[in-house]
Chain A
């Protein structure tokens, strides 16, 4: 079943200065008027000291590719669908520990078609959407952004090419993830591809394909726990960086 998250919404607050004077105040003496004015002047100060409403949670969508009767690639004894699900669960834990709201397209070995995956992403109003893949070919992590030509954002977008309005932000997200993976000494290759699930997403979206690390200094297979941890933590660090960039937080 797709993950469902409760996203707390900030409670609309009244303006700090919206205090009405009692109609009978005019009949009070100067002392009473002065007291009411003093009270009115104090309200904005009290308002400023009150705890602020909780900020809207930063939603990340994780899409473990394949599932059900679609096993994906055969990675030795493991199917791609099982590897992507395990990576999704690990990454979700890391992200939730860092304060993200995480929505996943599947939490079990279930078939989910590409339209459903994109639908979940679009309903989640996510700030980053990662489609997780794995392969035995190539080396390191392959980051793919949709090959659609970028267009201006519009109110209505064609379903099959909705991602076109988000290409610029997806490329920026790819750059952030590229930096974090390189910092973690994971080889990275960037490219563009046509992937129906991503092409329909209305969020900064990309496919992340994990392959064995075949670089000369560190050979690691897909089943290497240290390598898996390194990749997952680098992705989590990249999303923390991405959240900071999106919120305009000062960089540490």
Chain B
């Protein structure tokens, strides 16, 4: 026979455990929500008070497999990483438009983050104005919704690299992540495991004749 006080103590401890579990789950949910809000805290739209500046968008065209420059006047933030995100966001807005020459759904929100990382020289030293690696973090929704095909995926990757090269001359290399993780391909074709050299995309990589 279990004494009465032990039964009461067991019930109290059980109720306390359930309450603490619920409290913990709620805290976890709130923390996750805060994290997601923090991920999206970088501005996708520059404040309207920012002065308009010229940006070169290297826009892809599926019809002739080319990447052509389009110069637009955009209000851009001063922070280089936010600026890079805003420029690439505008590029993807062009692709999400109904009459796009390179239709890709998603738009500006598809660029989760852009990180600009200095590249050390052969001696391991970082020059103040040295070359940089751009890490472009795409959203999983963008990769999932991207049309599958060698040409369309290659053009997306090349146009992102070429746009970064046109607006940020110090960016010499580009790597892609999807939802913060490395991914084999964009939508089954374009290799996202390699580091892209912006010099390759600046050359007439698409549409060149052998």
Write the residues of chain A forming the contact surface with B, with a CB cutoff of 8 angstroms: 66, 70, 72-74, 80, 133, 135-139, 142, 144-145, 147, 149, 171-172, 174-175, 178, 189-196, 207, 209, 211, 214
Smallest CB-CB separation from B193: which chain A residue? A196
Interface of A is mostly: mixed
Q: B110: CB under 8 A from chain A?
A: no
Report the Cα distance A194→B158, complex, angstroms.
11
* Interchain CB contact under 8 A, B62 and A137: yes
* Interchain CB contact under 8 A, A190 and B207: yes
* Interchain CB contact under 8 A, A73 and B188: yes
* Interchain CB contact under 8 A, A191 and B189: no
Chain B residues 20 to 53 lying within 8 A of chain A, measured CB to CB, are none
* Interchain CB contact under 8 A, B188 and A209: no
Smallest CB-CB separation from B153: which chain A residue? A193
Smallest CB-CB separation from A160: which chain B residue? B194
* Interchain CB contact under 8 A, B147 and A136: yes
Report the Cα distance A135→B152, complex, angstroms.
9
User: Which bucket holds chain B's interface residue count?
Assistant: 20 to 34
* Interchain CB contact under 8 A, B151 and A142: yes
Which residues of chain B have C-beta atoms less than 8 A from A189's C-beta? 64-65, 151, 207
Given contacts A135-B149, A174-B210, A192-B206, contact A142 B65 (CB under 8 A): yes
* Interchain CB contact under 8 A, A192 and B205: yes
Write the residues of chain B forming the contact surface with A, with a CB cutoff of 8 angstroms: 62-65, 103, 147-152, 154, 187-191, 193-194, 196, 200, 205-210
Report the Cα distance A172→B193, complex, angstroms.
28
Report the Cα distance A241→B119, complex, angstroms.
47
A-B pair count, CB < 8 Å, reads 95
Which residues of chain A have C-beta atoms less than 8 A from B190's C-beta? 193-194
Report the Cα distance A185→B91, complex, angstroms.
33
18 residue pairs bridging A and B, Cβ less than 8 Å apart: A72-B188, A73-B147, A133-B149, A133-B150, A135-B152, A137-B151, A138-B63, A138-B65, A145-B210, A178-B209, A189-B65, A189-B151, A191-B206, A193-B189, A193-B190, A209-B149, A209-B150, A211-B151
Smallest CB-CB separation from A206: which chain B residue? B210
Given contacts A72-B188, A144-B154, A195-B191, contact A138 B149 (CB under 8 A): yes
Which residues of chain A have C-beta atoms less than 8 A from B208's C-beta? 190-192
Smallest CB-CB separation from A172: which chain B residue? B210
Given contacts A137-B62, A138-B62, A196-B191, contact A190 B147 (CB under 8 A): no
* Interchain CB contact under 8 A, B150 and A207: yes
| Cβ of B66 to closest chain A Cβ, rounded Å | 8
Report the Cα distance A145→B62, complex, angstroms.
17
Choice from B150, B187, B207, B209 contacting A195 with Cβ under 8 Å:
B150
| Cβ of B181 to closest chain A Cβ, rounded Å | 18
Q: Told that A138-B151, A144-B150 touch, could you supply 20 new A-B pairs with CB distance under 8 A?
A: A72-B188, A73-B188, A135-B148, A136-B149, A137-B152, A138-B63, A138-B65, A142-B65, A142-B151, A178-B209, A189-B64, A189-B65, A190-B65, A190-B208, A191-B65, A192-B206, A193-B150, A194-B191, A194-B194, A194-B196
